[in-house]
Structure formats: C-alpha cells, structure tokens
Amino acid sequence: MNHRFVVPEEQAGERLDVFLTALFPTRSRSAIKKLIDDGAVLVAGEQDVPEAAKPRKPGYAVREGDRIDLTIPPDVPAEALPENIPLDILYEDEDVIVVNKPKNMVVHPAPGHNTGTLVNAVLYHCGGSLSGIGGVLRPGIVHRIDKDTTGSVIICKNDQSHRAIAEQLAEHSLMRIYHALVIGRLPEEEGTVDCPIGRSPIDRKKMAVVPDLSHGKPAVTHYRLLQYFPDDNISYIACRLETGRTHQIRVHMASIGHPVLGDPVYGGAGKCRFRLDGQCLHAKILGFVHPTTKERIDTDAPLPEYFEHLLKILH
C-alpha cells in the first residue's frame, strides 16, 4: 500500500521516523525505522521533481513541504504453512536436512513471498517438525541464500541442532564454498576480500562495502580461480565464506571490479552475450560437524542445469 504525505510547517525539524510514527499509531517506531532502513520511504523536497525522491536515514530532519512516499508491504501470514513442493535432498537424518535449493525459490516467507518458499516445502516434508528458534516464519532456518542463488541450505529439525549449527556459523567453522562466474580476469589466482559490508548509503535496498565497522559488519571472502575464459572475459571461481553477510559474495566481487555474471543489482547484468535470469552463483559445498554424532558431514550440491550449460558454451 502506497502513502504520500507533505510535511506541514509545524512539524518541520522532526526526525523522519518520529514524523511517520505519529501518522501510524498502530505501528511501533522500530517498525517504521525498519521500513525506512529497507528503502520503503522516499523523500523529495518541495521544489524537487518526483524523480528526485530518495531514501533518507531515520534521523533525517524533515523540512516544510517535503513530500514523503511510504510503501507498506503486504502482511505475511502469521506462520509458515506446509506445502507439497518437491525437494532435492542432499543429506537428512533426525536432526538436520540439507537441501539443494533451486533458482527463484525464497528461503522463508517474507512480504511478497508468502508461499512457495523452502520453509513451506520442508515443513511438509518433515511433517511440521522443525526447530522453533527461528520463529514461526523461519522454523529451522540458520542461514539463507538469495532467491536467485542456488545450492545448499541446512535446516534444523530441533532446537538442540539449531543451537549447535548456529554456533558453528558464528565461529566461522561452517564450511560454505560457492561457485560463481564473474566478469573479467582476476588479478591473482587466489585472494581475499576483507572489507566490512553494510547498507548502501545511496540505495537502502542494496548492500555495499563501507568505510569501517561503525557503518557495517566484518565480512571476509576467500576466492580461487578455477578457469578463465578469455574469449568472453569471464572467470569461473570458487569462493569460501568466512562470514555470511547479506549479498556478501556479490558485493565483494563487485567491489574489486568483478561482479557476478548476470547480477542485476551489483553490475553483472548486460555485460556479456548471455541472457540470464539472475546471478550465476551456486552454494556448492556445505560442511559441518553433526550436532549429535560429532562426525564431519560434507555435502556437495551439483551445479544447476543452466550453470552447466553456460560452462559448456564457454568451453
């Protein structure tokens, strides 16, 4: 739902989040702040054309005549419901399940994606038995991958497993290796991008490399060149995540001038002869210590058909 407001003289100087909270008394200030942080609020000055509207920070002091556009996303269901959706299962026992997520599937329900998610599918497969730590919309979910990214996701069936896997994730001992196609030839065979990631100050819907930890969180990506295709100027790489920030590989590779092929957000689309539906990024290897047996489990998600097809063409 879209709303537009014009700031009156008597409210000039108020914080943006305070101004909007007063207009929506049923929503908390933190909820309004999240909408602002998510880029759902655009502000244009009194003399600006509509196209000049842009995101502002919650603490922005509104001015008389400012036009404020607020888009409130549709409500999501109170809880995720089981749906009979086929799953590509890489590993499963009574504690955890590792699934090879297909392209165009969202991991858990969110505004605009209330059904058809990985959580809906796993709830049906597991008979509703998943850990409750993630809440009713994210049962069993310890980590996520993007809608257009394929590959391994581990989901926990009970709270003990959830805590154990979450601890491995926090300690950076959960092995996550992605395969990707990126634009250009990397400057070296192996390397590391160690740059904090936070919300983009220009577009709040995007992430970006930020100057320091006061603007974001630590993020470390290790990459290795698997093959370079000179005719198309494309590199096939493996990336090992030391941390797991939102869009981490996509942001880090774009920051060093090698965006992921097909990425419409971070500069990898429209730069080659292929027409692609989203980024060429696949979560291939997932390794963890089993929460109960303490054995090492390593899963390997086969590359999706479109990725294999691209590699054959490049070869």
Which residues are known catalytic residues?
Answer: 146
Which residues neighbour 233 within 8 Å (Cβ) at sequence distance 6 or greater? 183, 184, 185, 272
How far is Cα 14 from Cα 191, in angstroms, rounded to an integer?
A: 47
Q: How far is CA 3 from the centre of its chain?
A: 27
Phi, psi dihedral angles at 98 (to 5 degrees): -110, 125
**Do 68 and 5 meet the contact criterion of CB atoms below 8 Å apart?**
yes
Instruction: Report how far residue 302's alpha carbon sits from residue 307's, in angstroms, rounded to the nearest whole number.
Output: 10
Secondary structure class of 72 (helix, strand, coil):
coil
Structure tokens at 9: 């003289």
SS3 of residue 275 by DSSP = coil
Q: Spell out the residues 6+ positions from residue 289 whose beta carbon is closer than 8 angstroms to its own.
A: 164, 168, 173, 295, 296, 297
Q: Name residue 286's beta-bridge partners.
A: 176, 299
How far is Cα 120 from Cα 185, in angstroms, rounded to an integer? 40
Which is nearest to 154 in space by CA: 105, 97, 106?
97
- CA 314, distance to chain mean position in Å, is 28
Residues 6+ apart with CB under 8 A from 270: none
Half-sphere exposure of 22 (CA within 13 A, CB side): 8
What is d(CA 235, CA 259) in angstroms, rounded to the nearest whole number? 10
Among 152, 44, 177, 23, CA closest to 99: 152
